[in-house]
Structure 1
Amino acid sequence: MRVVTTDAGLGRLEDGAVALLDTAFPHVGAVLEQEGSLRCLASCAVRRRIPLEEATLVAPLGRPRAVWGVGLNYVSKAARTGRGLPEQPILYLAASSGVTAPGARVVIPQSATEPDYEGEIAVIVGRRLYRATESEVWPAIAGVTAANDMTARDIMRATGTPALAKSHPGFTPLGPSVRTAEDFADRDAIRVRTRVNGELVQDDTSAGMIFPVPDLLSRLSWFTALEPGDIVLTGTPAGTGQDRACFLADGDEVRVEVDGVLPLVTRIVRPTDASQHDHRPTEPVS
C-alpha cells in the first residue's frame, strides 16, 4: 500500500489517482500514534478520487517527533572519501523543524556556502522500539519514504556538529508518499537514486549499507526509545556534492527516487545577487 497526505486529507495511491479516505486522521504520523501501523487505511472507505497531478501533496507525517540520522553508512561513500568503515554508527538528531513538504523550495541561508544534497531511504517507526533485537525491527517499521538530508558542509567543518549543519528550515524534505514495509519484495536491497538537474549522481541500494536497517535501528534503540512516527534517515551513498566538489546553486532541482515511492523533488533558492550565481531552468514537479 502506498499512502499520501494531501491538503484534503489522507489518501491511497490507486491506478494513478489519489483515493481520498474517509478518516479523521490528518496525516500518517497521527495514524501511527494511535494505531502503530498503516494497515487500518487499507480498509478505509473512499470519499472521492482525484488525479494525482491535481493533488497537492504535503509532508506525509506532519512534523515528526524525532528525526534521527546516520553518517557514513554506505560502503560506496566510505570508498569515495577514502575513509575506513566505522565500527559503530555515527548518529545524530536533527531538528524536526527542518522537515518540509515535497516540491518545496528550500531557501539556503547566506551563512551556508556549501549546501549539499543527500538522497536517502527514510524508515518510519510504527511501534515503539526500545532495546530491540534485529529481528524485532522490520515488524515495527510502518513504512519507507524518500528523504533529502541536506547538509551545509562548511558549517559541518566549522562546528563538527551534524545537527547544526542539517537543521536549517527546509533542510529535511520528506515524501511524497509512504510505502508500507511489507510491500517490499526485498527489504535488504531497496534502491535509492538522486538526480540533480536531471543528471543521475547517486545510485545504490540498501544492500550497500554498512549498518543495515535492522542493525542500525536495533543499535539506536539501546540508547533511546524510538516512538511511533519517528523518522530514521539511513545514510547516503556516494555521489553527493561533497564527492563531486559541486555544491547546490540557485535554481537547482534535486530529485530523490526510492523504490515504490513517488519521487521527492526539491528546488533550491539562494537569496543573493542574481548576477553572481548560476540560474538554471527547472521543469515542473512531476
Structure 2
Amino acid sequence: MHVVTTQSGLGRIEDGAVALLDTAYPHVGAVLAEEGSLRSLASRTVRRRIPLDTATLMAPLGRPRAVWGVGLNYTSKAARTGRALPGEPILYLAASSGVAAPGARVVIPGTATEPDYEGEIAVVVGRRLYQAAEADIWPAIAAVTAANDMTARDVMRTTGIPALAKSYPGFTPIGPSLRTPDDLPDRDAIRVRTRVNGTLLQDDTSAGMIFPIPDLLSRLSWFAALEPGDVVLTGTPAGTGQDRACFLADGDEVRVEVDGVLPLVTRVVRPPDALAHDHRLTEPVS
C-alpha cells in the first residue's frame, strides 16, 4: 500500500491518483499512534479521487515523536572516506522540530558554512520495539519512505555532536509518501539515489549497509524503546557533498529517490545575513 498525507486528508495512491479516504486522522503518524499499522487504510471508503499532480502533499507523519539516525552505515561511504568499518552503529537522536514537509524551502543559517545533503532510506516504526530480536523488526515496521538527513559539516567538525549539526529547522525533510514493506519488491536491497540540480550523485541499495535494517533497529531497541510513528534514518551512501568538498548553495534542489515511494524534493535557500536566523522562512510541518 502506498499512502500520502494531503491538504485534503489521507489518501492511497492508486493509478496515478490520490484516493482520499474517509477518516478523521490528520496524518499517517496519528494512524500509527492509535493503531500501530496502516492496515486499516486499505479498507477505508474512498471519498473522492484527485489527480496526484494536483494534490498538495504534506509531511506524511506530522511531527514524529523521535527521529533516530546512524552515521557511517554504508560500505561505499566508508571506502570513499577511508574510514574503518565501525563495530557498533554510531547512533544519534535529532530534534523532531527539524522535520520539513516535502517540497519545502530549507533555509541555511548563517552559522552553517558547509550544508550537506544525505539521501537516506527512512523506516517508520508501527509497533513498539524494545530489546527486540532481528526477526521481530520487519513485522514491526509500518512503512518505508525517503529522507534527506541534512548536515552542517562545519558544525559537526567543531562540536562533534551530530544532533547539533542536523537539527536546524527544516534539516530533516521526510516523505512525501509511505510504502508498506510487504509492497516492496526486495526489502533487503532498497535502492536510494540522490540528485542535486538534476545530477545523480548518490546511487546504492540497502544491501550495501554495514548494519542492515533489522540489525540496526534491533541494536537500537536494546537501549531505547521505539514507539509507533518513530522514524529511523538508516544512513547515507557515498556521494555526499562532504565526499566531493562541494556543499549546498542558494537555489540548489536536492531530489532523493527511494524504491517504491514518491521522490523527495528539497529546495535550499541561503538568505542575506540579516535573514539568516529567520525560521519563518522554513515552511512549517502541519
Q: Indicate the residue corresponding to 1:179 in structure 2.
A: 179
Aligned residue runs from structure 1 range 82-121, under 5 A: 82-121=82-121
Structure 1 position 208 matched with structure 2 position 208: yes
Cα drift, residue 173 of structure 1: 0.2
- Distance of 1:146 and 1:272 partners within structure 2: 30
Residue aligning to 1:53: 53
Q: TM-score, normalised by structure 1?
A: 0.95
Alignment of 1:23-38 (within 5 A): 23-38=23-38
- Spell out, residue by residue over 1:233-281, the C-alpha distance to the aligned partner (whole angstroms, 9 max, x if none): 00000000000111000000000000010000000000137xxxxxxxx
User: Is residue 2:146 matched to residue 1:141?
Assistant: no
> Hey, what's the Cα distance between the residues in 2 that align with 1:272 and 1:199?
27
CA distance in 2, matches of 1:117, 1:104: 14
2:266 matches 1:266: yes
Query: Using the alignment, how far apart are the partners of 1:80 and 1:247 within structure 2?
Result: 17
The Cα shift of 1:93 comes to 0.1
Secondary structure of the structure 1 residue equivalent to 2:19: strand
* Identity score, percent: 84
Deviation at 1:178, TM superposition (A): 0.1
Q: Secondary structure at the match of 1:146?
A: strand
SS in 2 for 1:92: strand
Amino acid at match of 1:119: G
Deviations 1:71-105 (A, max 9, x none): 00000000000000000000000000000100000
Partner of 2:150: 150
| Other-structure match for 1:222 | 222
For residues 28 and 244 of structure 2, the distance between their equivalents in structure 1, rounded to whole angstroms, comes to: 36
Q: Which runs of 4+ in 1 moved over 3 A?
A: none
Tell me by how many angstroms 1:184 deviates: 1.2
- The aligned counterpart of 1:3 is 3
Per the TM alignment, residue 34 of structure 1 is displaced from its structure 2 partner at its CA by: 1.0
Corresponding residue number in structure 2 for 1:77? 77
- After TM superposition, give the deviation of residue 181 of structure 1 in Å: 1.0
SS at match of 1:214: helix
- Equivalent position SS for 2:182: helix
Structure-2 separation of matches of 1:172 and 1:182: 26
Q: Which letter maps to 1:73?
A: N
Listed as ranges, the gaps of 5+ residues in structure 1 are 274-286
Structure 2: runs of 5 or more not aligned: 274-286
Query: Equivalent residue of 2:10, what SS?
Result: strand
Hey, what's the Cα distance between the residues in 2 that align with 1:185 and 1:171?
A: 30
Match of 2:67 in 1: 67
Distance 1:228 1:181 in 2: 15
Q: Give the Cα–Cα distance (whole angstroms) in 2 for the partners of residues 185 and 240 of structure 1.
A: 26
Question: Paired residue for 2:236?
Answer: 236
Aligned to 1:122: 122
Counterparts of 1:155-174 in structure 2, within 5 Å, are 155-174=155-174
